Structure 1
């Protein structure tokens, strides 16, 4: 499944770039993600927890990060296994940061592959809407972290698709109503 999105982060590119090089900090901004080990040379171990109604999965895996300072871009590749449920995931993601003055355009391009029980919930429309909402929360967390806001949104310990489901349905209805207007 391919997910492409471009979002504006209301912070200068150099600040955003520095945060993207602090992998423990940037992982803390991603809902449901946690780093468990730094293996050096851009390799890390971690977990991503999700809850889809009664279905829970805790993916344990590895990710590598290859930044390109010359172009303010990078690539991350990861894979994980949910040992209890038998689901597997693979992801390749590239990102690019474009200077927009006091803001930064973050362009993401991710290829996500799911297999096992979790793949049953991987309908493209739902996953795409959920990804948009997750990226919005990720960006809000980045802006709060860079702004030093003590009331910053905390990183979510477990990504709950049920909780996001209402937001996904709401976004779909708003989009549909927008087309009708």
Structure 2
């Protein structure tokens, strides 16, 4: 499935680019993820996702396959295997950064190709897109702030990517939209 996200970040392009080139920081900023080893453009990591009382662990490897600072474009590819099951996932993320206005803000665009095999949930692309929006917003915001990229807001995610919480957030957004439509 193909997902797209876009967000304006309150940071200059050079700072955001530097943060995205730090593979450890990417792991610290993404909810439930951890990069455990980096060798040049290659990395080893894990993602923990919670599905109610169940925890799913994926171990994987990946690589920064493209870095073009002049074009503000980077590409990351990774594959993962569920530790205690048959699930597999592959992901290919393309990042495009564009400076805005006076150069103190940056538009970040992420295009994600995601494939799950044997994963315990089968969601439609539209549902996955909407459920991933708040996660990617938090990730991109973390990637734009100075420092190590693991502030108090991110510490809540140390327990893993909570899929039930994400689904609950998604259902809440559906209810808000329905109420707003009724008001019109």
Same fold (TM over 0.5): yes
The answer for the alignment partner of 1:52 in structure 2 is 51
The aligned counterpart of 2:112 is 110
Q: What do the CA deviations read for 1:57-108 (whole angstroms, capped 9, x no partner)?
A: 1110111112111201100111000020211000111010000132110011
Q: Distance in 2 between matches of 1:161 and 1:154?
A: 16
State the Cα RMSD in Å.
2.1
When the two structures are superposed, what TM-score results if normalisation uses the length of structure 1?
0.89
Structure 2 CA distance for aligned equivalents of residues 56 and 151 of structure 1: 24
The CA deviation string for residues 96-138 of structure 1, in whole angstroms up to 9 with x for no partner, is 00001321100110010001133x2433333112210111111
Unaligned runs of 5+ in 1: none
Tell me how far apart the structure 1 counterparts of residues 149 and 26 of structure 2 sit (CA, whole Å).
Answer: 16
- Which residue is 1:164 aligned to? 166
Aligned length, in residue pairs: 178
Partner of 2:23: 23
Counterparts of 1:21 and 1:165, CA distance in 2: 30
* Unpaired runs of at least 5, structure 2: none
**In the superposition, relative to structure 1, how do residues 152 and 77 fare at CA in structure 2: closer, same or farther (>3 Å)?**
same
Equivalents in 1 of 2:17, 2:68: separation in Å? Answer: 10
The offset of 1:151, in angstroms, is 5.5
Q: Distance in 2 between matches of 1:150 and 1:68?
A: 26
Question: Does 2:4 correspond to 1:4?
Answer: yes
Please name the residue that 1:64 is paired with: 63
* Mapped contact 2:42–2:62 kept (Cα < 8 A): yes
